[in-house]
Amino acid sequence: MTSRRIVITGLGGICSLGRNAPSIWQAMREGRSGLGPLTFDRRDLKTNVGGEIGDIGDDGIDSRQRAAMGKFAILSVMAAREAAAQAGLDASQLDPARLGAVVGVAVWGADAVDESYREAFLEGKKRINLFTVPRGMPSAPAAQVSMSLGLRGPVFGVTSACSSANHAIMAAVDQMRLGRADVMIAGGADTPLCYGIVKAWETLRVLARESCRPFSADRDGLVLADGAGMIVLETLEHAQARGAPILAEIAGCGMSADAADIVSPTIDGPAAAIRACLADARLSAEAVDYVNAHGTGTKANDRTETLAIRSVFGAHADKLAVSSTKSMHGHCLGASGAIEMIACVNAIRTGIVPPTIGYNAPDPECDLDVTPNVARERRVEVAISNAFAFGGMNAVVAVRRF
């Protein structure tokens, strides 16, 4: 594997905070919440809060292509097109065999599967939608992005629950480090806001009653949300040769597994992933300025993440700016890491750390500076994005100023 430097040349996103990366970032820095009452048919659900996107308007997708697309694939294509436009990426002007995509998904095309179950079991239909399989398969977002943008290199999906987007970014980085591609679009997408998925999460008893309040003493759970985020990753040489805008550099990546419990997190697993990321980046703990926390708002995650951060950073933990943007956009599952990368890159570029909103009372077990409620000005040279998933699958990405 080569030591090729990998840079970010484009950002794209869509979630409850906005239909594009700039509007998402603006909402983050203003500390606005995108969470609110659910509008779909809830039937017997007790949960009535989520991060809905609402009407996406004109998605710019050909109607024939859209017929075979679930909502998570539509969002993926919209975010990927935005990122590609910012990067000035045009496959017709490059070697398409050197361009690829990796998209992380935690669930599947849940809207398509829910619809098929409704048609078969509730309405008694003998036939369901012809495109149920291509609309629902977890690899659909990656495939649809490649078809939309003409990417003919490495294209595949990855799934590791809530770490999926960060693992997708790492997989894309590896393709370029291995010399298999010059440009990769990477990110994640999920649309869990439908009856079946919310019902399943509700049964786990981890959903918040009113809002997401990470690290606050009165936190009571996570809030599910729809979303997609994509970034254009490129070798430094390729980006410079074509005059692409360089937004930030991927400093390093680290991953680990708890190998302990399917739902309960450990301290050692997340800490190992952070250490592996710093080692890959050849950075000291003291070089990190900002941590975009996994910060789901559950009692167990926030306490465990705090201890993992303190385990790695020691005394420097008290000097870190930490925040959970999930307090604003909710938990977009497989898309979370990619949407949170928008926060990391812009924190570096603007010198503004987005806040953790809904922070009502300090918790002695979460004693970090979580940037409560209001954004803060701070020069950020290096930021890390934490993603810790069910099954103990941990993925941490570090980005730095270029």
For Cα atoms 396, 52, 228, give the angle at the middle one, nearest 5 degrees. Answer: 40
Q: How many CB atoms lie within 10 A of CB 152?
A: 14
HSE (side-chain half, CA atoms, 13 Å) at 339: 36
For residue 392, what are the contacts with CB-CB under 8 A and spacing of at least 6?
Answer: 257, 258, 259, 260, 261, 262, 265, 266, 269
Q: Which two tokens stand for residue 162?
A: 């809530």
Catalytic site residue from 331, 332, 344, 366: 331
- Specify whether the CB–CB gap between 219 and 356 falls below 8 A: no
3-state secondary structure (DSSP) of residue 342:
helix
**Annotation marks residue 238 as catalytic:** no
Catalytic residue at 366? Answer: no
Residue found by looking up tokens 């090729």 in the block: 4
The yes-or-no answer on residue 294 being catalytic is yes
Give CA–CA dist 261/25, Å, rounded: 35
Q: Which of 15, 294, 329, 344 is catalytic?
A: 294
Catalytic residue among 15, 162, 212, 332: 162
Backbone angles phi, psi at 96, to 5 degrees: -65, -20
Q: How far apart are CA 35 and CA 319, in angstroms?
A: 30
DSSP 268-315: HHHHHHHHHHHHHHT--GGG--EEE----S-HHHHHHHHHHHHHHHGG
What is the rounded distance in angstroms from the CA atom of residue 58 to the CA atom of residue 350? 30
The answer for residues whose C-beta is within 8 angstroms of residue 299's C-beta and 6 or more apart is 219
> What whole-number distance in Å separates Cα of residue 388 and Cα of residue 300?
12
Integer CA distances (angstroms), 48 to 153, 189, 198, 321, 331, in order: 42, 22, 10, 32, 15
**326: three-class secondary structure by DSSP:** helix
Known catalytic residues? Answer: 162, 294, 331
